[in-house]
Structure 1
């Protein structure tokens, strides 16, 4: 990766967990009644083998990690647990009233915040109540995010007994200087202890979240972090670029300054170093920022073309209906997106009133659906193709024009009815997806909305 190329494509770009991206939702045109009218048909369109994805946002953390861009509430008061779980179950009951029949669940993900902030008993109560009202499909995938400092054997056993087989640990970096400045000190011994217990219980897929571009990171700290992680060989590694967006996330990301951050060539070198170590240990790149060992389901999904990406990240199968429960959670009903209230008090009050806690949404147009499919293909398969009907779409024609420069730089190969991302182009996948982002190009932001692409 040349310095010139890096500078050229080091622009603000979405991460494309959806299209349109949230800043480009037409919230003013969104009608909740129209969305509700479409909810039952979306549910009814699921076939017998398909089911819903269920994302549950558990927002509480005991400490503020200063790199974090998630919606979270910092507290050491665990009295919040039961009222919050009660609200989630009330919200789920509201959805059940709109479903035409008993739901079938294909996957569950507990995200945060820190899901293991909640006690094992309360997590058990939450999931047992939901599973009592639904059919869990054979082979369903359940996963949770955990903090190595507070994820106990009791947590792991309780969730395993409920059918959870995947665990994701937020590692970020194992260097003490980096951990100190981002306020997330977690000794390697805690990580190893979590992994050892999870494997003894029977978890078959463990993911580590690692981040490059954090303040005070150096090649030595990245090398040492990866060397220690490779002693444990998690089945999956998510190796993200740090998203420095203090204009969105407020003072949390201003506890250090830009001068503490590796930038440009330095930051990209950290990624290339980490990637080379992963490749030496036979991890394969299966999507943007994601690596997996060949015997993991995520790798196999990438190989057979079933890899999918949604608001929860990459998953090994596609569902057409994602329900998000909890404060700020996002749902995708196939032809519409909705997001719950982002304020905890507003979320709880709306549910208390017997209303689904939606505060904004977007109804997808035919053009949105077409472009979403291409962006999803690029994110999951590093290629996409189009038919004659697509070719007659103005947005696709405009995308092809924008791809010309990317092709000139060797990042993509454009064939009749098809575009393929080259190996050289994979680090620039967000830039390539931007070529298909008609809404962004029609309304170029006047201020920075997204983190840098590379």
Structure 2
């Protein structure tokens, strides 16, 4: 395994989209084209009974140095109401594009720290959203909770709108690691937040754990997972720390490269953690995710309905995903659009009645085919070209590039399909790389992505 780690530890995308953001063709993108594809896709998606909504709530009271998300560090809670007003106005602009009132099938509050906002202001936000849109009967609503500040009042306010999922960022329980990443939270806080959510009726409680953090040892990972298992979260995201300090606005500068575990140490942390989770009854779902067999994500994997987008893995697919708020990304299936990243610029554009999009991509016919293959690999660890609509001219070249991964036992290639082996699952990002036509045709001159291991 160490030889494979050394061989395949290269920079590569996490494939929450294809094409990946650095390869978006911004020259052929326009706000007009984005709106047209969105209208068309909305008409099609209405047959599938709903859209997804992602709302980015960017404020945090302190900087976590492991985080690569877009955020604004502040303790000024007077920012909450004006920001909510902008988000609601943005959604009104989107709703005006559609022939019918939108039906929301999935809604996720991310950040930042959504629980930076008071329960009353979260109620204000959601009340406004569901004045504009309807809620599907089988709607899945979720939010990212900070164990240190998610209160019973937060959980109750969101539960009133049928929120049933919450994901708590745990990361690691070792105090030295917590201090390095500026995220000190005792186990007791996570325990209390988890119990409170279940008491409030949340049916899926998730925990995020990260391996490969500064100063983190294998013993730390074992200790964190041991503690996590005692709380029995329904889902566990077991992420590899993505070290991308070159990204603007990133806080990953509070420690040195030498403080990070090596690639082989990271892989050992992952293998040990995976073994512990599997022994505890969790099933590996796609990349980095584990779920109990009672959770909807496991059921979706069994049915083949699991989907991956900018919100991560989802139990069902919607064709339209609208991202509201600063830096949020929207997906019409045929195109992507990302909002501006500065709060003040975002609010000014919205106040002027302009959708706050600053870049995007219109997918070509080839993009749509490649996107399906990469989604298949990331979600179900296999893909097929038996359907001629999934064939593309470069496929024979892709299969040649995959031969070495097949020789290493990471995949099995058949005449009309390929499968990722158990051995190959940790390398699924590497397996997707040969399919990434845009990256293959134009290799980056500087590092754009985190390492795959």
Q: Is TM-score (shorter-chain normalized) higher than 0.5? A: yes
Higher deviation after alignment, 129-138 or 428-437: 129-138
Deviation at 1:285, TM superposition (A): 0.2
Q: Residue 19 of structure 1 corresponds to which residue in structure 2?
A: 18
Cα distance between partner residues in 1 of 2:271 and 2:39 = 46
> SS where residue 438 of structure 2 aligns?
helix
Inter-partner Cα distance in structure 1 for 2:394 and 2:106: 34
Which ranges of structure 2 fall in alignment gaps of 5 or more residues?
none
Q: Distance in 2 between matches of 1:401 and 1:248?
A: 34
Equivalent positions of 1:40-59 (< 5 A) are 40-59=39-58
Match of 1:130 in 2: 129
Retained in 2: the 8 A contact 1:69–1:249?
no
| Deviation per residue, 1:130-157 (Å, 9 max, x gap) | 1122121111100000100000000001
SS of 1:13's equivalent in the other structure is coil
CA shift digits 1:279-307 (9 cap, x unpaired): 11010101100000011000110111000
Residues 226, 305 of structure 1: CA spacing in aligned structure 2 closer, same or farther, 3 A cutoff?
same
State the 1:62 CA deviation.
Answer: 0.3
The one-character-per-residue Cα deviations of 1:221-240 (angstroms, maximum 9, x if unpaired) are 11111111111000000000
| DSSP 3-state at the match of 1:45 | helix
Equivalent in the alignment of 1:399? 398
Query: What is the DSSP-based 3-state SS (H/G/I as helix, E as strand, rest coil) of the residue aligned with 2:198?
Result: helix
The answer (yes or no) to whether the contact 1:10–1:453 under 8 Å persists in 2 is yes
Instruction: Name the CA shift for 1:392/1:322 in 2 (closer, same or farther; >3 Å).
Output: closer
* Secondary structure of 1:170 counterpart: strand
* Structure-2 residue corresponding to 1:329: 328
For residue 96 of structure 2, what is the aligned residue in structure 1?
A: 97
2:418 aligned residue: 419
Corresponding residue of 1:177: 176
Given that 1:235 and 1:292 are in contact with CA atoms closer than 8 Å, whether structure 2 keeps it comes out as: yes
Query: Aligned with 1:248: secondary structure?
Result: coil
Are the counterparts in 2 of residues 237 and 290 from structure 1 also a CA contact under 8 Å?
Answer: yes
CA contact (8 A) 2:412 2:421 kept: yes
Q: Give the alignment of 1:285-304 within 5 angstroms.
A: 285-304=284-303
Q: Quick check: 2:234–2:295 contact (8 Å CA) kept in 1?
A: yes
Alignment partner, residue 429 of structure 1: 428
Return the offset for 1:398. Answer: 2.4
TM-superposed deviation, 1:330:
0.3
In the other structure, the counterpart of 1:452 is 451
Partner of 2:82: 83
Query: Is contact 1:411-1:424 (8 Å) kept?
Result: yes
8 Å CA contact retained: 1:377, 1:383 = yes
Rounded to whole Å, the distance in 2 between the matches of 1:160 and 1:290 is 25
Match of 2:363 in 1: 364
Q: Is the 8 A contact 2:86 2:347 kept in 1?
A: yes
Aligned twin of 1:253? 252
**1:96-151 CA distance string (max 9 Å, x none):** 11111101110100000000000000001100111122121111100000100000
- Distance apart, 1:408 and its partner CA: 1.1
Residue in structure 2 matched with residue 386 of structure 1 by the alignment: 385
**Cα separation, partners in 2 of 1:189 and 1:302, compared to 1, 3 Å:** same
In the other structure, the counterpart of 2:116 is 117
Q: Quote the Cα distance in structure 2 between the aligned partners of 1:284 and 1:53.
A: 26
Please list the CA deviations of residues 333-392 of structure 1 after superposition, one character each: whole Å capped at 9, or x if unmatched.
110000000111111111111000000000000000000000000011000001363575
2:353 equivalent in structure 1: 354
Alpha-carbon RMSD across the aligned residues, in angstroms, is 1.1
Deviation at 1:254, TM superposition (A): 1.4
Stretch moving more, 42-51 or 391-400? 391-400
Cα distance in 1, alignment partners of residues 8 and 360 from structure 2: 31
Q: Partner residue of 1:234?
A: 233
CA distance in 2, matches of 1:88, 1:11: 38
Aligned to 2:213: 214
Kindly state the Cα deviation for residue 396 of structure 1 after the two structures are TM-superposed: 2.0
The Cα shift of 1:38 comes to 2.2
Q: How many residues align?
A: 453
1:308 — aligned with what? 307
1:252 deviation in Å? Answer: 1.8
Take 1:334 and 1:208, find their aligned partners in 2: how far apart are those partners?
A: 29
Give the TM-score normalised by structure 1.
0.98
Q: What is the CA distance between 1:404 and its match in structure 2?
A: 1.1
1:250 CA drift (Å): 5.4
What is the alpha-carbon distance in structure 2 between the residues aligned to residue 37 and residue 265 of structure 1?
48
- SS of corresponding position for 1:253: coil
Which secondary structure does the structure 1 equivalent of 2:252 belong to? Answer: helix
Write the deviation string for residues 197-241 of structure 1: whole angstroms up to 9, x where unpaired: 111111000110100000010111111111111110000000000
What is the match of residue 269 of structure 1? 268
CA distance in 2, matches of 1:123, 1:33: 32
C-alpha contact 2:177 2:216 (8 A) present in aligned 1: yes
Residue 437 of structure 2: aligned partner: 438
Which residue of the partner structure matches residue 152 of structure 1?
A: 151
Equivalent-residue separation in structure 1 for 2:306 and 2:36 (angstroms): 30
**Structure 2 counterpart of 1:33:** 32
Is the 8 Å Cα contact of residues 391 and 417 (structure 1) preserved in structure 2? no
Task: Pick closer, same or farther for the CA change 1:230–1:403 going to 2, 3 Å.
Answer: same
